[in-house]
Structure formats: C-alpha cells, structure tokens
C-alpha cells in the first residue's frame, strides 16, 4: 500500500515504517559524525536505561548513549504494532511511530555490535520494573545512567489499580490563543477550559515524579544501580506567553513535582551510591502533543525562524548530544542553575532570541506568517515525528508490510 499522512485535528494518526527507520538512521549518523571529534571521558555511561525510549528526547538520548558512548542500552516504551489485516482484522493499520523507531534502533544497534534490549509494555507497572531488573542481572550489568522520558496520558497505579488521566489545561481561568493548522497554515483561535482540582492532581500522578522515584528506588533495592549513577528526567519551561497554559497549568504542576522529586532523589543517591539526580529543562520542539496546545504551534514556528537565522536552532538529537557531552559527562561537576536544573533551553530563552520572537509574534497575520515564522520547518518537523517528509524515502513506493521496517 501507499502510505500518506492522515491528519485529524492537528494530529497525525498513522506512521510510515520506512520513514521512521530513515529518521532514526539520520540521527545515528549525526551522532557518529559528532563523536569522531569528541573525546570520551572516563565517567561516560556504560549501561543506560531509557524509560520512554521510542520517540523524541527519549529516543535521542538512547541514540547518543549507544552510538556515541557505545553503551549497552535497555529501552522501555508502550507502543502499538502494525497490522497487515487478517482474521478479526477489519483493515490494515500502521503501528505507532515509536513501534517502528524501536524496531529500527534494535536493527541498527545489532548491526553495530551494541548490546540493546527493548521492552514494549507499561513502564508504570511493577512487572516491567521486575523485567528490567531480571534482565540487568542476567546481563551482569548495573545502570550508570537512567533517563526518565515517559510521556503518557494515562497511568494505572501499580498497587491498587486506580486509573489516573492527565490533562493539558490552565488553572483558574480559560486560556485562549492562536494556533496553526499544520498542513494548510491557516491561523485559528482555540481555547482550553480550566482544570478541576481533581484533574490537576491526577496530572501530577501521571506526569510528576512519583513513578520516576519508584523506578530509582526499586532498582537501588535490587542492587542494579552502579556506584556514581546519574539519573535525569526532562522538563520544559518556555516563554512567559505560554506559562498560563503550560508552566502554570496542569502539566507545569506535574513538572514542578518532577523537579522537587529530583532534589529528593539526589540526596538519596548521594548518600547511598555517590549518585546524582537531575531534571534537564529542554528546548520547545514539535511533538505529537504540542501541535494541539493553544499558542505553542505559532510560537514554535516563529522561534524556529529566529533561531535558524541566528544559527543556534537545535532538534531533539542536537539537544541530547549537547546534554550528554556538555552537561552530564564532561569529567567535571554537572552545571545547574540555582534550582538544581540543567538548562539546555539556554539558546531558546536567550534574551536576544526572545526579544525577536516577541517582536514578530506581535505582528503575525495570516498573510505574513510564512515570512515571520518558519511554517515549512514546522510542517516538516510535524510530519517527521510520524516518519513522513524524511530525506531519502520514496513515499510513492508500495509498502509491502506494516509489521516491519
């Protein structure tokens, strides 16, 4: 079959197997090239566990660890596989992008002679934690870097089965902002209703630091964390114009809980293993969820244009390469701000960048959007997250199977 992107309400609901594989390969090639001029410090990671390994920052983190530092990696994510139809199947379905990304990573890691184990399942479950512990013991390895990049809308409490659902809403009052249709470029206005207290609390249960702490403590109890282990989770702060919907909204509340958890884990790991725990505040990027947040698509489009003009634009893989090589593993103390946060959103929030973004945001119209913003770049990144618009892929070619790459 010929696979074209299916867009519904600014979300792409299918994926291209070969496009996903090509994108993973492009990221790997970028890291291999970068590391030809990088010296490997003595404290470089050797065994890396990535929770939420299949897309975005989690996938990029795993690629840097494996193809940069030659580390053994274990990845955990929850993805849906593709189906070619058959008994009980009403139609052919592509898998999720992460399904094909994981398949591609495993293939390229095997070809490179790298140890890699990928689990597809619920990272919130005790069963998955035990699977990882058993695998580490079988491999005779201890984790020296734990990356927590789980992004989910639902979490089932592993102890009592309670289902928690996260929401992306403001607190106290309605938030209204402009958005951009990813394909047509049409500007429209959307609103988000304020969250209830229960919704805000449930979002913290899903997206906060509770599960991260469970993982760290279970692995520590099982004796599979190495002396000097580092763990990092990911957050976003962004510009003031988005704070009402993000930083000061439900997701921001969860991220603040994540950041507080890092301080607790840092103390525990220092005491027990001379280890460290951090939250890295990363740059805003096009993701499957950011496209439906009021104001974010327009902001990112303008931001990309400004940063590309200033020569400091980065995508996921560039951000994670810089996090690993210029923050976490330099042979020196990890640099943080006054709140113990690693800041690799520094290029985005540079006053010169933000001043120019603010200036352009105030002038955006339907007529000048392509001039003041990077609509083509935004559209490319939106499609690329699902394996479309990737260089070197023939999208007119027949895809023989949806179950492999």
DSSP 295-347: THHHHHHHHHHHHHHHT----HHHHHHHHIIIIISSSSPPP--TTSEEE--TT
Residue 183 assigned as binding residue: no
Nearest Cα to Cα of residue 75 among 115, 108, 18: 115
Q: What is the pLDDT of residue 178?
A: 87
8-state DSSP, 345: -
Q: List, in sequence order, every residue forming a beta bridge with 143; answer none if it has no partner.
A: 225
| Under 8 Å between Cβ of 357 and 239 | yes
Residue 221 assigned as binding residue: no
3 state DSSP class of 296: helix
- For residues 178, 183, 184, 188, the Cα torsion angle rounded to the nearest 10 degrees is -20
HSE-up (13 A, CA, CB side) for residue 372: 16
The DSSP annotation for 215-260 comes to: HHHHHHHTT-EEEEEEEEEEE----GGGTTTTTTSHHHHHHHHHHH
Six token digits for residue 220 = 């520590």
Residue 193 assigned as binding residue: no
Q: List, in sequence order, every residue forming a beta bridge with 232; answer none if it has no partner.
A: 147, 278
Residue 65 assigned as binding residue: no
If you search the block for the tokens 């699977």, which residue do you land on?
Answer: 131
Hey, where are the domains in the chain? 7-174+196-293+315-346
- Rg for the chain (alpha carbons), in Å? 21
Q: How far apart are CA 322 and CA 30, in angstroms?
A: 12
The hierarchical CATH code for the domain 7-174+196-293+315-346 is 3.40.50.720
Residues whose CB is less than 8 angstroms from the CB of residue 160 and which lie 6 or more positions away in sequence, other chains included: none
Positions marked active-site: 246
Residue 79 assigned as binding residue: yes
Q: What is the pLDDT along the chain (405 residues), one digit of tens a residue?
A: 899 999 988 889 999 999 999 999 999 999 999 999 988 899 999 999 999 999 999 999 999 999 999 999 999 999 999 998 644 444 679 999 999 999 999 999 999 999 999 999 999 999 999 999 999 999 999 999 999 999 999 999 999 999 999 999 999 999 998 888 887 889 999 899 999 999 999 999 999 999 999 999 999 999 999 999 999 999 999 999 999 999 999 999 999 999 999 999 999 999 999 999 999 999 999 877 777 788 888 999 999 999 999 999 999 999 999 999 999 999 899 999 999 999 999 999 999 999 999 999 999 999 999 899 999 999 999 999 999 999 999 999 999 999 999
Residue 54 assigned as binding residue: yes
Six token digits for residue 234 = 């990911």
Q: Is the pTM of this model over 0.85?
A: yes
Q: How far apart are CA 71 and CA 48, in angstroms?
A: 7
Q: Work out whether strand 163-165 and strand 154-156 pair parallel, antiparallel, or are unpaired.
A: antiparallel
């Amino acid at each position: 079959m010929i696979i074209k992107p299916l867009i519904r309400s600014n979300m792409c609901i299918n994926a291209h197997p070969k496009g996903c594989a090509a994108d993973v390969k492009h990221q790997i090639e970028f890291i291999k090239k970068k590391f030809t001029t990088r010296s490997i410090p003595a404290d470089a990671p050797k065994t890396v566990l990535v929770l939420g390994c299949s897309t975005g920052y989690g996938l990029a983190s795993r690629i840097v660890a494996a193809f940069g530092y030659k580390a053994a990696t274990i990845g955990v994510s929850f993805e849906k596989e593709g189906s070619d139809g058959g008994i009980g199947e009403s139609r052919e379905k592509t898998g999720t992008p992460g399904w094909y990304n994981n398949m591609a990573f495993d293939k390229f890691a095997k070809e490179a002679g790298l140890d890699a184990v990928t689990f597809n399942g619920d990272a919130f479950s005790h069963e998955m934690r035990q699977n990882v512990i058993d695998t580490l013991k079988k491999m005779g390895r201890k984790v020296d870097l734990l990356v927590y990049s789980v992004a989910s809308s639902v979490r089932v409490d592993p102890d009592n089965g309670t289902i928690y659902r996260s929401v992306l809403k403001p607190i106290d009052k309605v938030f209204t902002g402009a958005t951009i249709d990813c394909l047509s470029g049409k500007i429209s206005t959307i609103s988000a209703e304020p969250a209830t207290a229960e919704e805000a609390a449930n979002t913290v249960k899903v997206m906060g630091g509770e599960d991260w702490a469970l993982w760290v403590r279970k692995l520590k109890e099982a004796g599979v964390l190495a002396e000097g282990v580092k763990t990092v989770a990911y957050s976003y702060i962004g510009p003031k114009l988005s704070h009402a919907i993000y930083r000061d909204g439900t997701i921001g509340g969860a991220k603040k809980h994540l950041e507080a958890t890092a301080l607790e884990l840092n103390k525990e790991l220092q005491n027990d293993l001379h280890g460290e725990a951090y939250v890295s505040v990363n740059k805003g990027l096009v993701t499957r969820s950011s496209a439906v947040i009021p104001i974010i698509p327009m902001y990112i489009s303008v931001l990309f244009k400004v940063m590309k003009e200033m020569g400091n634009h980065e995508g996921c893989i560039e951000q994670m390469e810089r996090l690993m090589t210029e923050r976490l593993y330099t042979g020196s103390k990890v640099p943080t701000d006054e709140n113990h946060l690693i800041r690799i959103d520094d290029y985005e929030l540079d006053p010169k960048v933000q001043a120019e973004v603010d200036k352009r945001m105030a002038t955006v119209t339907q007529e000048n959007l392509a001039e003041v913003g990077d609509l083509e770049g935004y559209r490319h990144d939106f499609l690329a997250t699902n394996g479309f618009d990737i260089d070197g892929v023939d999208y007119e070619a027949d895809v023989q199977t949806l179950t492999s790459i």
